[in-house]
Amino acid sequence: MAEPHHEVPDSAREQGHGGRLLFAGCAAGSMFGYSIAVSNNAVEPLRQRFALSAVAEGVVVSALTAGALAGCVAAGRTADRFGRRSVLGAAGLLALFGTLLAAGAMNVVTLVTARFLLGAAVGITSSVTPMFLAELGPAHLRGTLVTSYQLAVAAGNLLSLGAGAALSVGDHWRLMFVCNALPALGQISAILAIRERPGPRLHPSVASLNPASRRHTISNPRRRKGSATLPWASRPAAIAMAAALMNALVGVGAVVYYSTPVFGIAGVGGWIGAQIATLSVGLVNVLASVVALHLIQRHGRRSLLSVGLAGIILALVTAGVGLLTPPFALTGAITVAALLAFMACYAFSAGPVAWLLVAEVLPEEGRARTAATATGLNWAANLMVTLLFPIVVGSPGTPDRVGTTLLFFAALSTGFLLYVRLRVPETRNRPLGQLNEDEHVGGRTRRHQPSDTSGKERHDQAADELGR
């Protein structure tokens, strides 16, 4: 007699699926984080190996950002056509190829090409991963999944800085790039492990149909038609763009990419001091991201952004005023503490929550393309900050110029805080489909009442839902 078939409970299936999504997010995040920081310690041996001029050095370093912009442009249409999972797997392969090409580069042209390809993989990954996690993950796990991704970015960044510090003595820059292959392989294997959603998650309009109609709907989905200029579409898109800009324009690029000269101006000097300063920023980012995993499950997105942005403003004002005032015994300590506090506040607010908003507020129609545009805008803002910061503060920088620049970022952060309080809705624990029905004005959310629909209309809605 045949043994009875034991069906896996939906809860267990969902738990396993959530674990695979968590692994995928962490693998993608670590690839992203390691890739953007690998040049931090490699630039000096690269300069010596290839006799790089100042311009050539800038081209080598910024090639990754240029590639990330290109990757974001390609990510939207590609993800819509081939699916999020396939695109993320291809990005992992591209990252692996770019990493190995950079490690074996024998001239500057090959190195720049490799960095551009690696940047394209990073751009695709940064654009698609938050959306991928939010769409496949249950509503109650969205915050954990996207924040874990941000934690993995911070961890990959710290790992890259640590490996760079360990390998910076001697001509070991090729090993720094080779280590980048590990998170790329992790991303490929993690994406391959995700097969399907945990059990049937049918739209309510599908569940209400009889079995015959349900089978017809699933097997014959009607492709969604419509314009991206629907009345409700502009508001989610504006929030997504603002969140992406907020992620970059609060000044995190100035702190992460230029922490060594900034800490030097604040009174921390020497090679050992520079290494400690650089590693301390990465360590605080990781620790605060761990805390964010707990905070984001207990508090709303707007609350975390409000508290975090207020802390960022206070930290930037403290550091800026400290550098503008005549130096005294505690100037260095106050500036260092303020910038570390900035990094901690960023790690639980404008860092992960910005990308969570991008994934949650956008409607299904055009989500991939709009998210890719928002991510491209973020990379463009990051490029502007990293290029202009050394020009504005001078080389070597002066305390008054650095202080003025930090106060400018504090002013931008104040604008983003006002925008969050006035225009951003709360998206915690709400299905993605419902977010499009809400209108948020002045901190209050008003939900539009759904109109009655006929059986045919419900059938078409179900086809739209399953035809994505």
Distance of alpha carbon 349 from alpha carbon 302, whole angstroms: 9
Give the mean pLDDT of 48-56: 79
Looking up tokens 């080389």 gives 395
Give the mean pLDDT of 114-134: 88
Nearest to 238 by CA among 228, 248, 226: 228
Distance of CA 165 to the CA centre of its chain: 25
Instruction: Provide the token pair at 32.
Output: 């992203």
* Domain range annotation of the chain: 17-196, 208-468
For the domain spanning 208-468, the CATH number is 1.20.1250.20
pLDDT tens column, 37-48: 887 777 778 878
Distance of alpha carbon 38 from alpha carbon 202, whole angstroms: 44
pLDDT tens column, 248-298: 999 988 887 777 677 777 776 665 666 677 788 888 888 988 888 888 878
Q: Contact, 431 vs 139, CB < 8 A?
A: yes
CATH 3.40.30.120 fits 17-196, yes or no: no
**Strand intervals (E) in 311-350:** none
Considering only residues 243 and 259, tell me which one the structure prediction assigns the higher pLDDT: 243
Nearest to 285 by CA among 393, 432, 151: 151
Q: Contact, 160 vs 34, CB < 8 A?
A: yes
**Strand intervals (E) in 309-427:** none
pLDDT tens column, 153-187: 888 888 887 887 777 666 688 888 898 899 999 99
* CA geometry: angle 260, 397, 34, nearest 5 deg: 30
Distance of CA 296 to the CA centre of its chain: 16
Give the mean pLDDT of 215-228: 41
Distance of alpha carbon 289 from alpha carbon 153, whole angstroms: 10
Sort residue 199 into left (φ over 0), alpha (ψ -120 to 50) or beta. left
Distance of alpha carbon 466 from alpha carbon 229, whole angstroms: 22
pLDDT tens column, 306-346: 999 999 999 999 999 988 887 776 777 788 889 899 999 99
Which H or E run includes 439? strand 438-441
Question: Alpha-carbon torsion 186, 38, 130, 154, what sign?
Answer: positive
Give the mean pLDDT of 12-17: 58
The verdict on pTM exceeding 0.75 is no
Whether residue 366 is predicted with pLDDT greater than 60 in this model: the reply is: yes
